[in-house]
């Protein structure tokens, strides 16, 4: 309900299985409005960055369990 009071809500997506990057893509497809993402504005925990760098992973491609 908080989201509905903050702004008009047209679609919502839980990125649990699809990862953040895929969730953003799917929201863009649902809204058909276009999407611009400022990756540096997305908060990633420092330890997550360290582990991703060591494993050659993109933090935006990790599972996002418990997110909405």
Look-up: residue for tokens 């611009």? 36
The residue ranking higher by pLDDT, 8 or 14, is: 8
Name the residue among 9, 44, 39, 43 with its Cα closest to residue 27.
Answer: 9
d(CA 57, CA 68) in angstroms, rounded, equals 22
Helices (H), 1-68: 2-6, 19-31, 46-55
For 9-57, how does the pLDDT look when each residue is reduced to its tens digit (9 = 90+)?
Answer: 767 766 666 677 787 888 888 878 888 888 888 888 999 999 999 999 9
């Amino acid at each position: 309900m908080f989201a509905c009071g903050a702004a008009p809500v047209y679609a919502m997506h839980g990125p649990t299985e699809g990862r953040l990057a895929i969730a953003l893509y799917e929201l863009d497809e649902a809204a058909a409005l276009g999407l611009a993402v400022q990756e540096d504005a997305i908060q990633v925990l420092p330890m997550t960055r360290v582990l991703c760098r060591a494993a050659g992973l993109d933090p935006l491609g990790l599972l996002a369990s418990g997110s909405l």
